[in-house]
Structure 1
């Protein structure tokens, strides 16, 4: 166990130390403000305060972990060996940066509470982030910093045996609409037919009726392929089905359709199933509750995971609603159009509510790549290069890779050519050195 001496034990301090020490490095941590207790401890120990006590392992603290609310924090970025860091703390410290304060800034999403420009869906964009502006979005810096901290501790306590963790994968399959043409109902099928006629999309018109009449397979129905891949993978896939009401933003299948319900149950026999919350459920807890109960009725078990439509988050309200409804995991945090680490980490972390200054029970799985982000790269070779770089970064810190693919990504649409191969590269990456 690591004992940390500090001048004040704050909720922020306990939160970030437990993430870095326990979740990333696998060591228990406790805290004291009593010098005698610190001196008497005969295992791993460090001081985290403004002044070093003697010649102990010491990291000089920044003020952010002892503050409350939001403040105008000045951030100066520095190169640190193979990565970047901020909150420089001088030469007397065992490591030259206060990684705990820097990690808290990223994990709490401090910057997303500050004024920023949103996109047309009201989302925080990658280009607004510190990570993008300072050139470290491509790295899980929190995990990298944690390993640098571990190395410094090992040098100071060479007899301590640190536990190891292994690289893992949590594949996400997002299902905004299970079918392209099937189960759409008379009115929507008629509307789609009229639209195809007026926009001269005769191929779509042909496909629509061949699928409805049963002569062709629905292009979005790739579930047999995905389940077959699940059967050969040691990592459990996590499906998110949209079962909200039809709206301008959400055009899924009517959740009252028996064949759609049967599909969800069939997938749940092989994979984990969560709720893809509709666009309007994001701001209305009554809608979210209705969708949660609807999914629980289908699954006949309690719902533990969710994802928001359009990867939209309103902090902290979105997460507070999930907590109130006792949803324990969320997979929304990430960037639709950029590959990288929105919270600077590839280790799941608990949501810290900056307004209430408390650690919550909601576990955040930040995704690192969405299929759409690779579309900007024209060739399959370029896509593979980007994908392999992300895998390499996560493997370096033995983290968990969370990629998001959609059911239609595995269709025969030329837009998604090569994506089955990319998905297989991800699944096979755990078996490679």
Structure 2
């Protein structure tokens, strides 16, 4: 156990230390404000305060972990060996940056509470983030800093054995609509037919009717293929089905259709099934509750995980709604069009509510890549390169890689050509050194 001496045991301090020490490094941590207790401790210990007590392992603290509310922080990002860091704390500190304060800033999504430009859906943009602007979005800096902290501690306490963790993957399959043509109902089918005729999409029109007459497989129906992949993998896939009402934003299938219910049940036999909250459920807890109860009735168990339509997050309200409905895990944190680490970490973390200054029980699994982000690369070779780069970043810190693919990504559509191979690279990455 690591004992930390500090002048003030604040909720922020406990949150940052527990993520780095317990979640990333696997060691327990406790805190004291009493010098006598600190001196008497004969194992792993450090001081985290403004002034060093003596010759102990010391990290100089930044004030952010002892504040409440938001401040307009003036952040200077600097190079630090092979990575970046901020909140410089001087040469007397064992680590020249306050990685605990910096980790808190990134994990709490401090910057997303501040005024900034958002897109047409109200989403926080990757290009507005500190990480993007300073060239470290591609790195899980919180995990990198944690390992640097571990190395510095080992220099002080060479006899202490730190536990080891291993690289893992958590593939996410997003299902905004299970089928391209099937189960759409008469009005939507007629509407789609007229739209195909109007735009002279004769190939699509032909495909629509050969699928509806049962002569061909629906292009979005790739579930058998994905389930076969799940059977070959030791890592559990997480499916998110959209079951909300049809709207301008969501083109889901009616959740009362028996064949759709049967599909969700079939997937749930092999994989974890969560709720893809509809666009209007994101800000409306009544709608979200209705969708949660509906999904629980289908899977016949308690819903544990959710993810928001369009990857939209309004902090802290979005997460407060999940907590109120006792949803334990969220998979919304990430950027659709940019590969990287939105919260700076590839270790699941608990949501910290900055308004209430409290660590919540909601576990956030930030995703690091969505299939759409790979479409920026024209060639298959470039796609593989981009994918392998992010995998290697996670592997270097033995983190958890969370990629998001859609059911239609595995179709034969020209746009998604080669994506089955990319998915196989992810699945095989856990078996390679």
How far off is 1:174 after superposition?
A: 0.1
Tell me the SS of whatever aligns to 1:286: helix
Tell me the SS of whatever aligns to 1:359: strand
Q: For 1:214 and 1:431, how far apart are their aligned partners in 2?
A: 39
Q: For 2:90 and 2:268, how far apart are their aligned partners in 1?
A: 53
How far off is 1:320 after superposition?
A: 0.1
How far off is 1:109 after superposition?
A: 0.1
How far off is 1:79 after superposition?
A: 0.4
How far off is 1:392 after superposition?
A: 0.4
Tell me the SS of whatever aligns to 1:144: helix
1:403 matched to 2:403? The reply is: yes
Corresponding residue of 1:414: 414
Q: For 1:287 and 1:203, how far apart are their aligned partners in 2?
A: 38
How far off is 1:64 after superposition?
A: 0.2
1:44 matched to 2:44? The reply is: yes
Q: 5 Å matches for 1:177-192?
A: 177-192=177-192
Tell me the SS of whatever aligns to 1:390: helix
Tell me the SS of whatever aligns to 2:84: strand
How far off is 1:371 after superposition?
A: 0.0
Tell me the SS of whatever aligns to 1:123: coil
Q: For 1:216 and 1:299, how far apart are their aligned partners in 2?
A: 29
Corresponding residue of 1:69: 69
Q: For 1:219 and 1:249, how far apart are their aligned partners in 2?
A: 21
Tell me the SS of whatever aligns to 2:244: coil
Corresponding residue of 2:114: 114
Q: For 2:72 and 2:121, how far apart are their aligned partners in 1?
A: 27
How far off is 1:387 after superposition?
A: 0.3
How far off is 1:138 after superposition?
A: 0.2
Write out per-residue CA displacement over residues 199-219 of structure 1, whole angstroms, 9 at most, x where no aligned residue. Answer: 111111101111000001000
How far off is 1:134 after superposition?
A: 0.1
How far off is 1:396 after superposition?
A: 0.3
Tell me the SS of whatever aligns to 2:377: coil
Q: 5 Å matches for 1:218-367?
A: 218-367=218-367
Tell me the SS of whatever aligns to 1:205: helix
1:13 matched to 2:43? The reply is: no
How far off is 1:246 after superposition?
A: 0.4
Corresponding residue of 1:376: 376
Q: For 1:389 and 1:377, how far apart are their aligned partners in 2?
A: 13
Q: For 2:338 and 2:373, how far apart are their aligned partners in 1?
A: 5
Q: For 1:78 and 1:285, how far apart are their aligned partners in 2?
A: 42
Corresponding residue of 1:139: 139
Tell me the SS of whatever aligns to 1:431: coil
Write out per-residue CA displacement over residues 69-118 of structure 1, whole angstroms, 9 at most, x where no aligned residue. Answer: 00011101110000000000001000100000000000000000001000
CA RMSD of aligned residues (A): 0.3
Corresponding residue of 1:198: 198
Paired positions, count: 433
How far off is 1:287 after superposition?
A: 0.2
Q: For 1:401 and 1:108, how far apart are their aligned partners in 2?
A: 20
Q: For 1:202 and 1:117, how far apart are their aligned partners in 2?
A: 41
Tell me the SS of whatever aligns to 1:217: coil
Q: 5 Å matches for 1:27-42?
A: 27-42=27-42
Corresponding residue of 1:215: 215
Q: For 2:298 and 2:130, how far apart are their aligned partners in 1?
A: 41
Write out per-residue CA displacement over residues 211-263 of structure 1, whole angstroms, 9 at most, x where no aligned residue. Answer: 00000100000000000000000100000000001000000110000000000
Q: For 1:244 and 1:286, how far apart are their aligned partners in 2?
A: 12
Write out per-residue CA displacement over residues 319-358 of structure 1, whole angstroms, 9 at most, x where no aligned residue. Answer: 0000000000000000000000000000000000000000
Corresponding residue of 1:161: 161
Corresponding residue of 1:92: 92
How far off is 1:166 after superposition?
A: 0.2
Q: For 1:335 and 1:240, how far apart are their aligned partners in 2?
A: 17
Q: For 1:247 and 1:72, how far apart are their aligned partners in 2?
A: 39
Tell me the SS of whatever aligns to 1:301: coil
How far off is 1:364 after superposition?
A: 0.2
Structure 2 residues not aligned, in runs of 5+: none
Write out per-residue CA displacement over residues 304-328 of structure 1, whole angstroms, 9 at most, x where no aligned residue. Answer: 0000000000000000000000000
Q: For 1:129 and 1:306, how far apart are their aligned partners in 2?
A: 24
